[in-house]
Amino acid sequence: MEAPRKLPIGIQDFEKLRSEGFVYVDKTEFVYNLAQSGLPYFLSRPRRFGKSLFISTLEAYFLGKKELFEGLWIYDEEEKSANPWQVYPVLKFSLASGEFTSENGLRSSLTDNLKRFEEKYGLPSDENDLVSRFKNALKNACEKTGKKVVVLVDEYDTPLLKNISENEEQEKANRALYKGFFATLKDYDAYLRFVFFTGVTKFSKVSIFSDLNQLQDITLDSRFDSICGITQEELESNFVPEIKALADKFGLTKDECLAELKKRYDGYHFTNNLIDIYNPFSLINAFSKRDFGNYWFESGTPTFLVKKLDAINFDARKFEETVKVSEAEIKDYRPENENPVPLLYQSGYLTIKSFNQKQRSYKLGFPNEEVKYGFLNALAPAYLKVDNNSSYFNVDILDDAVEEGDSDGMRDWFTSLFALLPYPTSGDTEVLTEQNFQNVIYLSLLILGKYVRTEVHTAKGRADCVIETDNFVYVFEFKKDVSAKEALAQIEEQGYAKPYESDKRKLFKIGVNFSSKDRNITEWEVIEN
């Protein structure tokens, strides 16, 4: 049996990856093209998409580490140039981690990065003034080496995102520190060979995007749609043995295995070209562990996004289809923006599904099943106001009822759940809408991973909810303070169930009334076909 290859899980250092024989998907054509232009750039991509590895690849290139690039696209191209493998002083700011919620956390991190650069190139340091120290480091390095400086800033927005939901004053303080510090790059352009920033999101009011207005944002540039992540072609050409091993384990053909990988981990679109991009972290973990797990989502929970959605009582059913945003909204994030959708996009929980050239607008949706079910699972406890590990919230009971065609069991489970839930209030007046209780039912069912759709369009209208299993189809109409019989009548009159009447599966038409007085389901009428 052939030994498994070394897969780069968590490896963000290009030199380590290449020198120790890890599998590498060649992105060096992007490195070469960016380097030749000499312009300053900004790139936004979700976490764990390879931004730090790309920064490390740029670092190795500008340090002239020729041996690391043998056999890659860039090697022959660089060899043909007039002065190949030039060596430049490289100042890298690694901001992916740090104590950024403390008063001096960001200042300490910037100082540490400057200190390492000064020590590496034997430069004097001025420890009294951070901005002056940055300026002197650039000037002194350029004069000492005779080469202009390359500045690489990895995950610039981590110090902002770590404070955005619970420590706004520190987030503002970190922004203010950035304003003076990175303005140096504009003033000292004469000493710079190349500048590259990465982050998850672009904060429109951060000075690097206003004061440093020459920074080229390539986030939505179709020339760089696959600069991070893995394309279908890259998957099939770089991971042949891993695809075979995974397929063999589950008794799948190659095509069946590829289809499962696509369903779970593909579907990201970063430009209006709509080129499909796989999540590299999930893909490599699936190959390493030889299992179709939820790796990217489990590596970090979107806590502050969930809180934001819950605080504004966002209609979770909107996620079932697509949500529309303007181009300006997804390019620039403003912390004061009440609309959470742009940040959901920039964070990787939503992706581009279509682009309207005339309107310059996008429709966004979940990229794949891993993200969809992972995100809605994280959202459910906040919306339902219960612990999803609680014995009172035992979804296995609901799962059994749905799979066994037990509509009475479904009713009993939801009745018990609603009895536990607190409800939102506005002053002294209780606020309870159809959206509130429909969200509860919708999210509860999605936790099961069932085929649940809301607002399902038919010729005459939209059914509130449809659930499909291998053996059953459930068509729901929900009402508040209206009889369940009226809800059933609407299903019949509007033909919500007609698409399923010739289906071999058993069909349930279910009318539900929720009483705002009793704060629970009081009527549940079923017609079985």
Each residue's pLDDT tens digit, 411-447:
999 898 888 766 554 443 444 555 667 777 777 777 7
**pLDDT reading at 389 higher than 60:** no
CA dist., res. 421 & res. 441, Å (int): 12
What is the CATH number for 494?
3.40.1350
Most confident of 173-177, 218-222, 239-243, 477-481: 239-243
**Tokens linked to 414:** 């939801």
Whether residues 261 and 311 share a domain: the answer is no
* Residue 483 · residue 522 · CB < 8 Å: no
Q: What pLDDT does 462 receive?
A: 78
Per-residue pLDDT at 443? 78
DSSP symbol at 85: S
| pLDDT top residue among 4 and 122 | 122
Element of type H or E holding 471: none
In a domain? residue 5: no
Q: For residue 54, give the nearest of 39, 70, 41, 67 by alpha carbon.
A: 41
Enclosing domain of residue 324:
303-370
23/418: higher pLDDT: 23
Q: Please state, in angstroms and rounded to a whole number, the distance separating the CA atoms of residues 439 and 242.
A: 40
pLDDT tens readout for residues 32-52? 999 999 899 999 999 999 999
Task: Quote the percentage of the chain above a pLDDT of 70.
Answer: 89
The number of folded domains in the chain is: 4
Beta-strand relationship, 451-457 and 425-426: unpaired
Do 444 and 459 reside in the same domain of the chain?
A: yes
Q: How far apart, in Å, are the Cα atoms of 123 and each of 135, 138, 150, 185, 295? A: 12, 10, 16, 19, 43
Residue 328 is predicted with a pLDDT of 84
Model confidence band, residue 392 (pLDDT cutoffs 50, 70, 90): low
Query: Do 148 and 34 have their domain in common?
Result: yes
Across the strands, what pairs with 333? Answer: 203
pLDDT (0 to 100) of residue 427:
43
- Residue 8 within any structural domain of the chain: no
202 and 87 housed in the same domain: yes
Kindly state whether residues 22 and 126 are assigned to the same domain: yes
Same-domain check for residues 315 and 463: no
Tell me the pLDDT tens digit for each residue of 328-358.
888 776 666 777 888 889 889 999 999 999 9
Task: Tell me if 314 is assigned to some domain.
Answer: yes
Between 45-49, 150-154, 413-417, 503-507, the lowest mean confidence (pLDDT) is in: 413-417
Given 298, 316, 336, the domain boundary residue is 298
Say yes or no: 161 and 274 in one domain: no
Q: What percent of the chain has pLDDT over 90?
A: 60
Q: Is residue 3 part of a domain?
A: no
